[in-house]
C-alpha cells in the first residue's frame, strides 16, 4: 500500500503518464536482450549500410558503424538508467546520512558539514566532474557511478538536514527523550521515518539532475566510452554530421522524455507533501 502522499501525487494524469514512460524505459533496460531487434554491438547484416535513415527494418536508422540505432537505444537505457539509478542511490544514501547527522547533532558537526556542502555546491558539478576525470583518467561504469554519486549528495543532505532540524523539536521527540530513549534510537526510530517523503523528493531531484549530467559528460567524451552505448555518447557519435539527424534525435528524445517524466513526478510529489503539511497545521 503506497503511502497517502504518493497516492495523492499519482492522482493527476500527468504523473500517471510520467510513471508509464519511466516504466517503459525501465522495461527496456531490464529486458534489453529480449526487446532489441538486433545485437547492439555488431553490424547486423551485410545488406544494411551505415548511416541509413529510419526504415522499416531499422525504425530509428543505423549509425556510422551500421549498427541498429533502436537496439543501441534499448541497451543504452540499461546503461544510462543503471548508471543514473545507482549513482542516485549512492548520492541519496550519503546525503541522508550527512544531513541527518548534521541536523541532529547540530553544533560544530553541523557547521563543518554545511561548509563542506557549500564548497561542493560552489563548483558547478560538471566542472568538478571534468576535474575528477582529468585526475583518474577514462572511466569504467563503476567509476562513473562513484563520481556521480560523490558529487550528487550535497543537495539531498541540505534537504534532509532542514527536515531533521524541524522534526527534532517536535513534542513526540521531546517526549521520547524525556522517557529515556537513547539518542541514536530517537534519530533512527522517531526522526528518520519522518524524513522519508522529503527523501523521495530529493531522490527525484537528484535523478533529474544526474541524467543530463551523465549525458553531458558522455557527450564531452569524458564519460562512458564507446562501444558501450549510453544515450549521451550515442549523441556524441552522431552529432558530427547534421545530415544524420536520427542519430541525435532519438537518444535526445529518450533523455528528454526521462528527465521530463522525473521532473513532472517530482513536482507532483512535492505538491502532495506540501498539501499534507498544510493539513497537519
Partner 1 sequence: MRRLLVSRAAQSAVVIALVATLAFVLIHLAPGDPFSTSLDDPRVGSEIRDRQRALFGYDRPLPEQYVRWVGNLARGELGYSHTLGSPVAEVLRDTVPHTLLLMGTALVLGLIGGVALGTWQASRRGSVAEHAAGAAILFALSVPEFLLALGALALFAIHLRWLPVSGMVDPAMHDSMGLVRRVADVVRHLALPAGTLALVTAAGVSRYQRTAVLAVLPEDFLRSARAKGARRSVVLVRHALRNALGPLIAICGLLLPALLGGAVVVERIFAWPGMGRMMVDAVGGRDYPLVLAGVLAGSVLVAVGGAAADVLASLADPRLRNRT
At its nearest, how many Å lie between partner 1 and the CB of residue 198? 19
At its nearest, how many Å lie between partner 1 and the CB of residue 63? 16
- Nearest C-alpha neighbor of 98 from the set 84, 116, 125, 124: 116
- Give the residue with the Cβ less far from partner 1, 118 or 183: 118
At its nearest, how many Å lie between partner 1 and the CB of residue 103? 19
At its nearest, how many Å lie between partner 1 and the CB of residue 245? 7
Report helix, strand or coil for 139. Answer: coil
**Distance between CA atoms of residues 48 and 56, nearest Å:** 12
Which residues are near partner 1 by CB under 8 A?
Answer: 115-116, 118-128, 130-137, 208, 212, 215-216, 219-220, 222, 235, 239, 242, 245, 248, 252, 255-256, 259-260, 263-264, 267
CB atoms inside a 10 Å sphere around CB 121: 14
CB atoms inside a 10 Å sphere around CB 101: 18
C-alpha cell at 78: 540499461
- Give the residue with the Cβ less far from partner 1, 34 or 122: 122
**Distance between CA atoms of residues 94 and 75, nearest Å:** 29
Position of cell 498544510?
278
Q: Which residues pair with 68 in a beta bridge?
A: 62
**Distance between CA atoms of residues 91 and 82, nearest Å:** 14
Four-residue CA torsion sign, 130, 77, 229, 234: negative
**Distance between CA atoms of residues 266 and 200, nearest Å:** 8
At its nearest, how many Å lie between partner 1 and the CB of residue 92? 20
At its nearest, how many Å lie between partner 1 and the CB of residue 235? 7
- Give the residue with the Cβ less far from partner 1, 136 or 188: 136
- Give the residue with the Cβ less far from partner 1, 147 or 167: 147
At its nearest, how many Å lie between partner 1 and the CB of residue 82? 18
Q: Are 164 and 191 in contact (CB under 8 A)?
A: yes
Helix 107-122 vs helix 69-105: crossing angle, to nearest 10: 150
At its nearest, how many Å lie between partner 1 and the CB of residue 40? 22
- Give the residue with the Cβ less far from partner 1, 74 or 139: 139
- Give the residue with the Cβ less far from partner 1, 54 or 194: 54
- Give the residue with the Cβ less far from partner 1, 165 or 177: 165
CA angle 144/132/250 to nearest 5° reads: 45
- Give the residue with the Cβ less far from partner 1, 173 or 255: 255
Amino acid at each position: 500500500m503506497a503511502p497517502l502522499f504518493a497516492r495523492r501525487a499519482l492522482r493527476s494524469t500527468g504523473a500517471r503518464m510520467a510513471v508509464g514512460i519511466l516504466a517503459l524505459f525501465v522495461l527496456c533496460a531490464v529486458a534489453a536482450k529480449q526487446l532489441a531487434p538486433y545485437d547492439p554491438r555488431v553490424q547486423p547484416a551485410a545488406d544494411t549500410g551505415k548511416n541509413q535513415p529510419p526504415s522499416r527494418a531499422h525504425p530509428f536508422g543505423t549509425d556510422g558503424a551500421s549498427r541498429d540505432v533502436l537496439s543501441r537505444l534499448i541497451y543504452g537505457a540499461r546503461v544510462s538508467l543503471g548508471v543514473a539509478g545507482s549513482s542516485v542511490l549512492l548520492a541519496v544514501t550519503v546525503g541522508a546520512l550527512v544531513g541527518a547527522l548534521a541536523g541532529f547533532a547540530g553544533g560544530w558537526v553541523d557547521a563543518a558539514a554545511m561548509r563542506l556542502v557549500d564548497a561542493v555546491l560552489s563548483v558547478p558539478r560538471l566542472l568538478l566532474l571534468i576535474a575528477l576525470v582529468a585526475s583518474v583518467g577514462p572511466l569504467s561504469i563503476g567509476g562513473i557511478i562513484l563520481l556521480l554519486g560523490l558529487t550528487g549528495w550535497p543537495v539531498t543532505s541540505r534537504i534532509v538536514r532542514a527536515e531533521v532540524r524541524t522534526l527534532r523539536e517536535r513534542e513526540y521527540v521531546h517526549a521520547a527523550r524525556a522517557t529515556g530513549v537513547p539518542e541514536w534510537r530517537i534519530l533512527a526510530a522517531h526522526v528518520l521515518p519522518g524524513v522519508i517523503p522529503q527523501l523521495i523528493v530529493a531522490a527525484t531531484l537528484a535523478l533529474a539532475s544526474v541524467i543530463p549530467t551523465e549525458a553531458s559528460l558522455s557527450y564531452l567524451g569524458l564519460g562512458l566510452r564507446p562501444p558501450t552505448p549510453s544515450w549521451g555518447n550515442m549523441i556524441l557519435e552522431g552529432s558530427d554530421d547534421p545530415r544524420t539527424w536520427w542519430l541525435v534525435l532519438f537518444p535526445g528524445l529518450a533523455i528528454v522524455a526521462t528527465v521530463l517524466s522525473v521532473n513532472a513526478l517530482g513536482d507532483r510529489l512535492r505538491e502532495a507533501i506540501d498539501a499534507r503539511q498544510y493539513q497537519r497545521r
